[in-house]
Structure 1
Amino acid sequence: MASMEPIDLTYRTMVSELAQRSLDDAFASDFSIVGRFVAVPVKGRRFWYFDEPQGGPVQKRRYVGPADDPEIASRVETFKHLKSDARARRKLVSTLVREAYLPQPDQMTGAIVQALADAGLFRLRGVLVGTTAFQCYSALLGLRLPEAAMQTGDTDFAQFHSISAAIDDSLPPMLEVLRTVDVTFREVPHQMDGRSTTAYVARSGFKVEFLTPNTGSDDHEGKPAAMPALGGASAVPLRFLDFLILEPVRAILLHRFGVPLLVPAPERYAVHKMIVAARRRAAGDATAKSHKDLRQAAILFEAMAEVRRHADLAIAWSEAWSRGTAWSDALRQSLMAYDARTRDLIRDTLASGFEALGEPFGPYASAFPTLASL
């Protein structure tokens, strides 16, 4: 892979400004000016909720986020002073796409993510995953990533079941939200439980699916999980997903006025893709999807090396490796699927990361086969 071209500082500054303005506007739009924020203790932590009068003594309480999130805390303090600036944000998006050549989602994908953002999905700690999330990493890392502009015919979102069950808030009915974008969306009854819906599809074939980590018994694998916060939608429980969506990061999707959202941390995305690629091959799906997984992982390893984030990758690698043989074996198998140059890139990046952390790389070195062993 050729060295990646950095985005000019002027455009990186625009990205930061757009992200800030979009988040400000989304926050202001979410809550009525007549309501008030309250901090509620839950299991030893404090969380912001918003109480909105409904007439008389009745109030509607909505989840906002952790009280220890500095960005949320700042917006709570300045809530009444936030103003929308849609025209300026639209111009920033246009400039970043036309002049900085940053990737922009297709119209359908962008509209779906926007509709779910407006409905409150990311406020309720939902996370955008998959190729659409990958598109956000160019702006996030300040590099033009190859293949970031690839289009997709579906969009996936994930949420921890524990969060969905605990926050005492919910999106509007999911089908209604999706039909604000395309009236042909319909529910797809789950194969194992026709009473549950984890996916929705439009007449064009565009698919929206909801996922949740499976950290329990294998009996849960494939069975839909009820998600109280997702407007009636259930989610497909998946292994390894908890690693991917733990501690997501804020990003911006370059659609219309800019859509503020949550995506997996890029280092977790890279390591997770290597694990998923190996699992696909083990299940007999070793073609296009597995190749795409490996390609995206390699691109992110190179990108994060370019921006000197070796240590972040080392931490993610170490965490995944320590979770058991299924995880470490999957990483080994994906390393074997790469060419020598890509394996060397990953090895050198991780070695630099562990050195920066003051930790030995030795325990992981055996995963990288020598030419003699191939």
Structure 2
Amino acid sequence: MQQRLATQAQGTKIGAFVSKHIKGQTYWYFQTSIGTRKTQTYLGKETPEMMNQINRIKANWSKAEPAYRERQKQVAMIRAGGGIVPTTGEAKILELLEQLSVFDSGGVLIGTQAFTIYGNMLGVHWNTAYSRTSDIDIADDAMKVGIAHIGDLETRLKNSELDLQPILNLQNQPSSSFHFQKEQIHLEFLTPMYGPERTPIMTANLKIRATGLRFLDFLLEETEPAVVIAKSGILVSVPNPGRFAIHKLVVSERRRAFEWNKAKKDRIQAQLLIEHLLKERPGDLHLAMEAAQKMPKKFQSQLAKGLQTMPPDLIAGIM
């Protein structure tokens, strides 16, 4: 059903064409709405060619409307069947990011939000102690060039109805994090760190400052579309679940001593994913382990330590 949701989302109406009449001439704009705030993008003076294109797009929207209503029903069915759903605040932010083309432009949803989505993928209802968070983490590989142009994302986030504001840091550096005050949700942008330590880093695709993390590239090399169970289905991108599980083991070993509780959560998420992937998608784990052998020695040594915290039968299953 998730695959059907992702496929049907193509061609969904995301705005409206608006005309203005000035001194006997007609000019067209494309209007999008983020909550109650509306933004208009100038298209140009009316011409026969423009009207043909507008009419074709409107016709595609009309054809897509039944599929849109069907997706709403499917989301309701998944929710009623025990599917894992985001909080209202999380859904608002993820919908905003989708509308701003973040996921079409190379953004990838990672962290516990992605782990929650894997539960729906695998038909598993995770314990909320390991699948709930007040953070939304978006990763973008600064070395990969995206195919879409997203514009000034930081300004669009700040000017949205959600009023996402940058979080000031002690070093007075440009922020890579935003706060949704009303729902107490923290949105952070991350990117792989190559070479010398430095942060924040301007990303290539999203054109936004992001916190650099070592070895994040392993997580972003293989991604796949996924659906957040909210509204009519919010289309996002997540890492391959096999890579996510292996990466979590590495992350757990990279945590500082005072982050022991986060490291414990990392290991539990990795173990739960490995258990279910061995049953449903074992190839994902085997391919992830092959890819891990091509990573730097530091990554491999930390992975080896992380694996030693797993039950012996799971280690045997993926080695």
TM-score, with structure 2 as normaliser:
0.79
Q: What displacement does 1:315 show?
A: 1.7
**1:203 has 2:181 as partner:** yes
- The 3-state SS of whatever aligns with 1:312 is helix
Q: What displacement does 1:150 show?
A: 3.0
Equivalent residue letter for 2:6: A
Equivalent residue letter for 2:104: R
| Match in the other structure for 2:70 | 88
Aligned-CA RMSD value? 3.0
| Match in the other structure for 2:216 | 241
| Match in the other structure for 1:219 | 197
Q: What displacement does 1:219 show?
A: 3.1
| Match in the other structure for 1:350 | 318
Cα contact 1:187–1:197 (8 A) shared by 2: yes
Q: Judging changes above 3 Å, is the alpha-carbon distance between structure 1 residues 275 and 149 closer, same or farther for their aligned structure 2 residues?
A: closer
Cα contact 2:240–2:284 (8 A) shared by 1: no
From 307, 310, 313, the equivalent of 2:285 is: 313
From 250, 253, 263, the equivalent of 1:290 is: 263
Count of matched residue positions in the alignment of Structure 1 and Structure 2: 285
From 275, 280, 286, the equivalent of 1:302 is: 275
- The 3-state SS of whatever aligns with 1:163 is coil
Distance 1:333 1:312 in 2: 21
From 154, 168, 191, the equivalent of 1:174 is: 154
| Match in the other structure for 2:25 | none
Q: Judging changes above 3 Å, is the alpha-carbon distance between structure 1 residues 181 and 344 closer, same or farther for their aligned structure 2 residues?
A: farther
User: Once the two structures are superposed, what CA deviation does each residue of 1:196-216 show, in whole Å capped at 9, x if it has no partner?
Assistant: 22001133532100001112x
Cα contact 2:144–2:204 (8 A) shared by 1: no
Distance 1:323 1:31 in 2: 47
TM-score, with structure 1 as normaliser:
0.68
User: Once the two structures are superposed, what CA deviation does each residue of 1:105-128 show, in whole Å capped at 9, x if it has no partner?
Assistant: 111111101100011001101100
From 262, 276, 288, the equivalent of 2:237 is: 262
User: Once the two structures are superposed, what CA deviation does each residue of 1:187-240 show, in whole Å capped at 9, x if it has no partner?
Assistant: 12454453x22001133532100001112x2232xx111235436x31111111
| Match in the other structure for 2:96 | 115
Equivalent residue letter for 1:298: Q
Distance 2:135 2:275 in 1: 26
From 28, 38, 44, the equivalent of 1:55 is: 44
Unpaired runs of 5+ residues, structure 2, are: 18-27, 29-40, 47-58
Question: Which structure's relative contact order is higher, taking Cα pairs within 8 Å and 6+ residues apart?
Answer: 2
Unpaired runs of 5+ residues, structure 1, are: 1-13, 35-51, 58-77, 352-374
User: Once the two structures are superposed, what CA deviation does each residue of 1:25-44 show, in whole Å capped at 9, x if it has no partner?
Assistant: 45x53898x9xxxxxxxxxx
User: Once the two structures are superposed, what CA deviation does each residue of 1:276-330 show, in whole Å capped at 9, x if it has no partner?
Assistant: 00111xx2244211011101111111111111x2232112112213323211211
Cα contact 2:100–2:150 (8 A) shared by 1: no
